[in-house]
Amino acid sequence: LTHMATKSKDLRELSVDEINRRIRDLKVEGINLKLQKATGALENPARVRAIRREHAQLLTILAERKAKA
């Protein structure tokens, strides 16, 4: 998947392994953006919110799947 805004529908089509990998990648990117913000080098402040939102969506999808199982 690209790092552009990802639709919830597309996220729901991912496997659990893909979701976990994506969550890990988002965490790393979020940490990098926090460092950029601290050093004043943050180019796209909106990306911080987008990462938090997608991370939350992925966690919600995992929770829903666990509830169904």
Q: pLDDT in tens for each of the 69 residues of the chain? A: 455 557 888 999 999 999 999 999 999 999 999 999 999 999 999 999 999 999 999 999 999 999 987
Q: What is the pTM of this model?
A: 0.84
**pLDDT of amino acid 40:** 94
**pLDDT of amino acid 12:** 92
| Alpha helix ranges (H) inside 1-69 | 8-12, 16-39, 46-68
Name the residue type at position 33: L
